[in-house]
Amino acid sequence: MAANIGIENSAEDGDFLNTDSTGMYLLVENGGLVSVKYSGIMKTTCTPDAYYYPFDVHTCSVVFVVFGYSNNEIHLDSLEIQQDKDVLLRHAEWEVEIGDVLESSSHLPTISVNIQLRRRATNIFLTTLLPLFMLVFLQVLVFVLPAESGERISYSITMFLSYAVFMTIVAESVPPSNPVTLISNFLTFLLVKGAMILILNIMILNIHHKDKSKTIPKPLRMLASCMFYRCRKMENDVHPEDSPNDLSRKESFLEVFDDEKERIPSQASYTSSDEITWPMVAHALDITFFIIFISTIVVFFTIFYFVHYF
């Protein structure tokens, strides 16, 4: 009677390599070695770990077992494992590699073939992550818009809703995982960040239009003093060796963040609370939050870059 070689972790009942059927060839050598050559479609179970999606790597095993015999009677061994490179390279989503072949310590003759599945993340990165980072960057640009433009609130709401819709589309393509995937946590963080940008924008506009008679708190007055003193020092810091192009670049840099119509007070007057106005405080907060959120985006983009390429 021929041995019944089955798949221990089969996804279907009765998945056997039927050695009695026509087309199954056994090569018997004079030393007692019997080689089985079989080709077919076998469905097995595998527990995926998609925590690092779309940079996830899965290791699945195909466990072959001989029923009805013990290890003393039959010893399974894999002499050669060949990969069909043409089939593996044509797969659009996964890179498939054959890993180690391990023998089990079970009382039945058992052998396990490990198969490594690595997701091709380039397409997902270009179609999902890159537009996501661009959308997040556009959210931060709200702090560059002048408060007098009257479009900051509408711009913030539009970008927040656009990101929420885009997040819904991306979430449908993320496979379920326990624990929750890293990209799902990242998307949630970005959604909270977008809500924070909207709230901060409303607060800054409220500060910008505050009554001049109200006293500016000391922390905000110190922030505005330090911020504009630094910018003013850069503006006045002209060296003889500076070329006209260098001076032009300095002036352009200051014009981006300094749209105040009033002249910035001199260094000696920064300690006076009368020289610091509510619009100056709002402008200082714009610069501060712009730098903070841009730095956060750069850090997360760098993390994803190193995860993808290293």
Tell me, what CATH number does 103's domain have?
Answer: 2.70.170.10
95 and 241 both lie in a single domain: no
116 and 139 both lie in a single domain: no
Cβ atoms of 128 and 170 closer than 8 Å: yes
Per the structure, the complete domain to which residue 111 belongs is given by 4-120
The per-residue pLDDT for range 266-276, each reduced to its tens digit, is 444 444 445 78
303 and 208 both lie in a single domain: yes
Q: How far apart are CA 290 and CA 308, in angstroms?
A: 27
Strand pairing report for 16-17 and 4-7: antiparallel
Give percent of the chain above pLDDT 90. 7
Closest CA to 52 of 117, 126, 110: 117
Say if pTM beats, i.e. exceeds, 0.75: no
- 3-class DSSP state of 200: helix
Mean pLDDT for the chain? 75
The per-residue pLDDT for range 230-273, each reduced to its tens digit, is 555 444 444 445 455 554 544 544 454 454 444 444 444 444 44
254 and 298 both lie in a single domain: yes
Q: How far apart are CA 230 and CA 47, in angstroms?
A: 57
* Domain end marker among 97, 120, 143: 120
Cβ atoms of 108 and 147 closer than 8 Å: no
The per-residue pLDDT for range 177-198, each reduced to its tens digit, is 888 888 888 888 888 888 999 9
- Supply φ then ψ for residue 135, to 5 degrees: -65, -40
Query: For the chain, how many structural domains are there in total?
Result: 2
289 and 142 both lie in a single domain: yes
